[in-house]
Structure 1
Amino acid sequence: MKRILILLLIAVAFSLAAQENSKITLEDIFVKGTFRAQTVDGLKSMNDGMHYTTMEQGVRIVKYSYKTGEEVAVLLDVSKLEDSPISSFQDYELSEDETKILLTTNKKEIYRHSFTAQYYVWNSVTEELTALSDDGPQQGAIFSPNGDRIAYVRNNNIFIKNLKFGSTSQATFDGEKNKIINGLPDWVYEEEFGDFTAPTGFNRSMWWSPNSEFLAYVKFDESEVPEFSIPIYAGMAPTHEEFKLYPGENTYKYPKAGEKNSTVQVMSYEIKTKMSIPVSIGEETNIYIPRLKWTPENDLVVMRLNRWQNQLDVLYANPYTGETREVMTEKNARYIDVNFLNTFTYLDNGNFVVLSERNGWSHLFLYDKEGIEIGPITEGNFDVTAFYGYDPDKEVYYYQAAAESPLQREVYYIGEDKEERGKISTLEGTNRADFSANFSYYVNYYNSATVPNYTTLHETKKNEQLRYLQDNTVLKNTVKSMNIPQKEFFTFTTSEGLELNGYMIKPADFDSSKKYPVFMTQYSGPNSQSVSDSWGRGVGWNEYLAQEGFLVVCVDPRGTAARGEDFRKVTYMQLGKYESDDQVEAAKYLTRLPYVDAENIAIFGWSYGGFMTLLTMEKGGDLFKAGIAVAPVTSWRFYDTVYTERYMRTPQVNAEGYDENSPLYHAGDIKGKLLIIHGSADDNVHAQNTYEMTEKMVQAGVQFDMAIYTNRDHGIRGGNTTMHLYTKMTNFLKDLLQ
């Protein structure tokens, strides 16, 4: 009996030790990448739609068969080139005829999407690898459709390399830092008009005509845009030795709400004559030109958006003369979402597709080449969230939608006659498709709250899965063996009768008879979505906190995505009001749950979520024992024109909307303990927001904790920064709530 007892004690000890060893650590999440889901990046369809290419180890570009998955050819292997000027590359682009490859090396980030690089060109016919330019770093390099030329920018001027003769011509000569930019977006265009579903975002503003005879570009005159200066210290990772005694500064043009934007001009550069022709965009200069496009017939398309962003005009321009005519106008009582720009697509026959909210939901509409509406492609009380294209052989359109639930995404097709329609995705959760050039095949990227990235390849005609490309078996087994808690979705009804969606992550040993401290996490920004049936960031800080005994809760308030235009745009002219009301309602709902420790609730958010943390704590008072606001906006007067005015118009016409919902004006109402954090070199949400907020709290007698991370931008990364940040936030929560 004694022997059995000893063996049982040993078994229990080993079991406890195993559980202890299998606990999530911050190092697992942020250093080791233990829970990082694998995916299939950089798969690019070739023109025939039957093959694709991938980059491998940064040295090879390999051609594969969609049908078999077998390697067909190695298009380039720089490790096997004699006297190769490069040992690796970071990205690549094939020319239209697929005989040349543009390689990106030595990338150096500037802002979120922009970077400088050294580009090289591989010619598969001559088997030569040559530098695009030896005169310094370049930006935005792009092939002409015929593959004979590459346009790029250096020092804010456009250059064009003739690949046949190896000669380079300069197209513009007036580029100057913080004054004139040719062919690249200014800071606010890059940040706010980008397509965040695209790998490169929005880091160039020049477009070749289909016949390669013209290069259209936008010229930005930043002369009258106010400057903002960010101090740069010696710091670490990387160290700025030159600033050890006296700080330096990064000064750039940043238009805050209500201030002057860049004046923009559209230019059409003719390759043959080497002349830039100004394109007529109207007399009004207080406008945006967020996109240029070309029709299949080589007409230049100018998308002109008014300052309030509630009217977008599509103009056709003659590239030889610069004369324009208006083709269509999209209007909205509130604002036109940036997805209109991202989805606007020309078909081969000259017709085009737009994504409009004109009927209260986001849907696809078809127009003929002259801008006459043919009719809606999709209809119903759901939002279309992406357009994948049109297959002229099958006469069907492919798109993504949240038709079955706002928490999920499915992939659909619909015929021109609307008789043929259906869903091609089969798994419940979040699906995204990437079709081959001729729509014969597609890759489906699937994940859910319980399934990490599951990537499969399908034949479109039969909708038959040919094979999986990545199933994350190792990660799934790791998560299962560690008994990591998972999201549980719920809804609740507010005092106004509104149903909101949320998720909850409970500790693995959850006991409904006990009470748990609550960690509320949220973002809450316009058209964002945190509560979705998706893997998201997978096993991360939320799961770690649940493991440490917190009840983690997230609620999407009014203003968030996939529930129709009225739900999405109710926050118009008063950002923060309804979102913070709903977060307070969420906290009140939680206090009524028997397993919630109502005396120990904290709220957290980053960026817009930081703004929401502050405003919610001010409104909720004693509801919140603690809060963490990272890189928060504290007044929309401090933020940029494009984003802020899209939702708020200008401070000159909506002062009340700006100030009534600004945390600065209610700083004295914060009752709980606050930790406020910022990167000193945040070019997006300036540290000014935090400095002004903390001064208001000082004068109101509100105590707070504060952390400033030297030379860190909006993401607060680099070196040991991430570990330090999350350790600090974790300790703050544990000290106050447990």
Structure 2
Amino acid sequence: MKRIALFFLLASALTSHAQRNLNLEETVFGPRTYAPTSITAASWIPKSNSLTYLDKSYQNLLSKSAANNWAETSLLSKTELETALKAAIPNETFSLRMFPYDYKWRDGNSLLLQVDGKDKVYTVVYNLKSKNIESFIGNDSQGANRELSTDFSKIAYLVDNNIAIVDKNGKVTAVTNDSDKGIVNGSDYTHRQEFGIKKGMWWNAQNDKLLYYRKNETMVANYPLPQWSPKVAEIKWIKYPMTGQKSEEVTLVVYNSVTGQKVTLQTGDHSEQYLTSVTWDPSGKFIYVGVLNRGQNDLKFNKYNAETGALVKTLFEETATTWVEPENPLTFLPNTADQFLYQSDKDGYNQLYRYNTEGKLIKKLGFKDIVLENLLDFSADGNKISYIGVTNNGMDRQLFEVDLKSGKTVQLTNESGIHQASLSGDGKYIYDQYSDLKTPNIIQIKEVKSGKGTVLVKADNPFSGKINNPKIEFVQLTSADGKYPLTGRIIYPNDFDPAKKYPVMYYLYGGSHSQLVSNKWLGGAGYFDLYMAQQGYIVFTMDNRGTNYRGRDFYTATHRNLGQNEMADQLKGIEFLKSKSFVDQQRMGIFGWSFGGFMTTSFMLHHNDIFKAAVAGGPVIDWKFYEVMYGERYMDTPQENPEGYKLTSLLNKADQLKGRLLIIHGAQDPVVVQQNSMEFLEACIKAGKQVDYFLYPTHEHNVMGKDRIHMYEKIADYFNQHLKK
């Protein structure tokens, strides 16, 4: 018995010894190394109850279906695909390392795949029945923003700032020939990708006309980014329109690929407006565009004639005292070609509205206070549509389906947490990938009617037996105005002892379109958060007013005075921490990047007696240095809101700095230009205040790759130097 007892003591000691903390390299690459078991690239085959996905080696496309009781079968291997490619395109060299991750189903029998050849990128249609390449089309691998016509007969793409079209026979047609680099055609980087812009070109359903953005930024100020690698440093010039200054001028052009003629949509005074939510009518005769004024508080949703470019009519108009922010194109109903779905938060929450093409509102399809996050697919009969909605005060994601005629909405998933879910093509089954704070990953197929489930994956904690897993809890607080519940996340050190006192790393962001705390695995915490907790810190994070998924009033509370209500809410989190006996109030540090860098620096000036040390990465220091599209949405122009710009500027408050502040910036940052931090350094020098500063010469707004390990080491060392006893 003594030997058995000794054996178990030794085994326990060995197990305990095997558990270790994350190292700095794992703060960057750990999410890949310790990812919970999952299923890769899952997709329903259209109009079926068959699910496809890639195997763990990324070499085979596999399938499960209700017909064979969800048993696994092989559909297509990388080797079989390579054989078919060689037969169809014998003179090309393909080097597939894995089965194409971004495969798409064209129909129930054929796949749409993108593969790289020696000098070209090919889009191919693979037929699963005949096991061969049905058709293919390739374009120069240097081409960007590829836009494939729906009949797979041609591809529009960019070479620098000009558009070309290649057809299936390899014939290339130049659509634009602008020699001035200040004229940019067809780019998704229009309006700096604000307003949900993800594309710069659109084919009509008839595949004979290409609609594209034409961006004129010749009048926009050039901004210098020094390049340090050459023997004599050089300047890379970018176009950067700062708040209150001249912005780009954008038009929409229709190119007829049959006649070669072009027509510009008559969108009015294009010098002071934004063109968003661009959508073709199914008939190909009309184009719908959201025309947003520069002040971003007046949106006209217009209908244009595609042949003449003339304005047909304004379908409806949205105005606001804060801002209107269109984020999505229209979604036309499959059974009713003259009706579409429009997303808007005009009534408080981003929800669906059913309109006809004359601008008449047919039905409001919103449900309670649910925020629509991701619109999914129509049902097989076209009478319903599903979507992922945000519930539980922003913490959860659930699958919903709404009847387009009656508006009746049904919630199809129920467990509190984050569901990434979708309905099968026949509507009988749900593919549901789910996690919460304590659940790494569960993937199951659920029958809609009965609710019965077949578990495909139930992931174990990937840290078990390897990495110390810090205790994480959610904290419920109330916003400073008393109106909204707020959720914080606290991470405790290893072997936490409430009788001891611990230093704090307060991590925050706080800006629009963000959320750091949600009910998913690890509560949304990053691996650097876990690392710092393992190093003996209390790590705290909270989402304030101004962040996303809580409705319009919640995120517009910051209008014209960025940082003020955000800090007021974050002070509630700070009060919570200070109320805990295990928090050492004399050893509190704060860290944030970008908007979080602005918030971090703001706290060190406005509330300078709280934090002993701070790290601000890529911080906005004065909103007059930020770009037009984002900056003016929240602050208006400096001319319109001088008091707000003065209040939120940190340049005139440098003399209030206390504690140790480290600013980190990328020298190539095209988002928050380095001028922000350099001007603040100069203000601190004039005020006699010491600031620590570190520059990453080759990085842009974020420090990426292996250099990110260096960055995290610097941040950890800084807090250890100033907060550890």
The TM-score with structure 2 as length reference comes to 0.88
Give the match for residue 103 of structure 1: 114
Q: Distance in 1 between matches of 2:465 and 2:406?
A: 44
Change (3 A) 1:617 1:49: farther
SS at match of 2:575: helix
1:322 to 287, 290, 309: 309
- Indicate whether 1:709 and 2:720 are aligned: no
Change (3 A) 1:419 1:252: closer
Amino acid at match of 1:478: F
- Indicate whether 1:729 and 2:684 are aligned: no
Give the match for residue 416 of structure 2: 428
Give the match for residue 36 of structure 1: 35
Q: Distance in 1 between matches of 2:223 and 2:315?
A: 38
CA deviations over 1:598-642 (Å, ceiling 9, x no partner): 111111101111110000121211111111111111111111111
**Residue 686 of structure 1, CA deviation:** 1.6
Question: Which shows bigger deviation, 598-607 or 681-690?
Answer: 681-690
**Residue 579 of structure 1, CA deviation:** 0.7
Amino acid at match of 1:314: F
Amino acid at match of 2:114: L
Q: Is the 8 A contact 2:593 2:617 kept in 1?
A: yes
CA deviations over 1:85-135 (Å, ceiling 9, x no partner): 22027665669578684525499xxxxxxxxx941243658849977245x
CA deviations over 1:512-560 (Å, ceiling 9, x no partner): 2222111111110124221211236556111121122111111222212
Question: Which shows bigger deviation, 369-378 or 491-500?
Answer: 491-500
Change (3 A) 1:62 1:376: same
Give the match for residue 513 of structure 1: 499
Change (3 A) 1:650 1:55: farther
Q: Distance in 1 between matches of 2:85 and 2:117?
A: 19
- Indicate whether 1:229 and 2:237 are aligned: no
1:391 to 374, 379, 390: 379
SS at match of 1:478: coil
SS at match of 2:566: helix
Amino acid at match of 2:587: N
Give the match for residue 111 of structure 1: none
Give the match for residue 374 of structure 1: 362
Give the match for residue 595 of structure 1: 582
Q: Which runs of 5+ in 1 are unaligned?
A: 108-116, 196-201, 235-242
- Indicate whether 1:159 and 2:136 are aligned: no
1:615 to 602, 619, 626: 602
Give the match for residue 215 of structure 1: 210
Question: Which shows bigger deviation, 516-525 or 136-145?
Answer: 136-145
2:172 to 168, 171, 177: 168
Q: Distance in 2 between matches of 1:167 and 1:47?
A: 33
CA deviations over 1:349-380 (Å, ceiling 9, x no partner): 13222222222233222212322111311242
1:120 to 96, 119, 122: 122
- Indicate whether 1:142 and 2:142 are aligned: no
Give the match for residue 321 of structure 2: 333
Q: Is the 8 A contact 2:185 2:212 kept in 1?
A: yes
Give the match for residue 401 of structure 2: 413
Q: Is the 8 A contact 1:187 1:254 kept in 2?
A: no
- Indicate whether 1:205 and 2:200 are aligned: yes
Question: Which shows bigger deviation, 388-397 or 314-323?
Answer: 388-397
Change (3 A) 1:247 1:91: farther
**Residue 182 of structure 1, CA deviation:** 1.3
Give the match for residue 478 of structure 1: 463
1:504 to 490, 498, 517: 490
Q: Is the 8 A contact 2:477 2:572 kept in 1?
A: no
Give the match for residue 363 of structure 1: 351
Q: Is the 8 A contact 2:444 2:455 kept in 1?
A: yes
SS at match of 2:254: strand
SS at match of 1:443: strand
Question: Which shows bigger deviation, 419-428 or 431-440?
Answer: 431-440
Matches within 5 A, 1:630-669: 630-669=617-656
Change (3 A) 1:278 1:51: farther
Q: Distance in 2 between matches of 1:705 and 1:577?
A: 25
Q: Distance in 2 between matches of 1:95 and 1:139?
A: 23
**Residue 440 of structure 1, CA deviation:** 5.3
Q: Distance in 2 between matches of 1:247 and 1:464?
A: 65
2:138 to 105, 110, 132: 132
1:185 to 166, 169, 188: 188
Amino acid at match of 1:174: D
Q: Is the 8 A contact 2:512 2:546 kept in 1?
A: yes
Give the match for residue 87 of structure 1: 95
Change (3 A) 1:272 1:495: closer
Change (3 A) 1:655 1:551: same
**Residue 422 of structure 1, CA deviation:** 2.5
Change (3 A) 1:300 1:102: farther
Q: Is the 8 A contact 1:187 1:253 kept in 2?
A: no
CA deviations over 1:111-165 (Å, ceiling 9, x no partner): xxxxxx941243658849977245x7101112211121111121322222221x3
Change (3 A) 1:670 1:438: farther
Q: Is the 8 A contact 1:157 1:174 kept in 2?
A: yes
CA deviations over 1:559-593 (Å, ceiling 9, x no partner): 12233221211101111111122223422332122
* Identical amino acids, percent of aligned pairs: 28
CA deviations over 1:644-702 (Å, ceiling 9, x no partner): 11111111211221221122221221211111111111222122222112221222122
**Residue 275 of structure 1, CA deviation:** 1.0
Amino acid at match of 1:396: K
1:265 to 212, 229, 251: 251
1:70 to 70, 73, 88: 73
Give the match for residue 452 of structure 1: 440
Change (3 A) 1:399 1:124: closer
Question: Which shows bigger deviation, 81-90 or 216-225?
Answer: 81-90
Q: Distance in 1 between matches of 2:38 and 2:164?
A: 36
Change (3 A) 1:462 1:685: farther
Change (3 A) 1:420 1:194: closer
- Indicate whether 1:289 and 2:275 are aligned: yes
Give the match for residue 683 of structure 2: 696
Change (3 A) 1:420 1:319: closer
Q: Is the 8 A contact 1:256 1:638 kept in 2?
A: yes
Q: Distance in 2 between matches of 1:680 and 1:106?
A: 35
Give the match for residue 673 of structure 1: 660
User: Aligned pairs, how many?
Assistant: 700
Q: Distance in 1 between matches of 2:40 and 2:359?
A: 37
Q: Is the 8 A contact 1:228 1:253 kept in 2?
A: yes
Q: Is the 8 A contact 2:113 2:123 kept in 1?
A: yes
**Residue 736 of structure 1, CA deviation:** 1.4
Q: Is the 8 A contact 2:663 2:677 kept in 1?
A: yes
SS at match of 2:400: strand
Q: Is the 8 A contact 1:676 1:690 kept in 2?
A: yes
Q: Which runs of 5+ in 2 are unaligned?
A: none
SS at match of 2:301: strand
Q: Distance in 2 between matches of 1:301 and 1:410?
A: 30
The TM-score with structure 1 as length reference comes to 0.87
Let me know the Cα RMSD of the aligned residues: 3.2
Q: Distance in 2 between matches of 1:646 and 1:79?
A: 53
Q: Is the 8 A contact 2:38 2:441 kept in 1?
A: yes
**Residue 418 of structure 1, CA deviation:** 4.8
Give the match for residue 523 of structure 1: 509
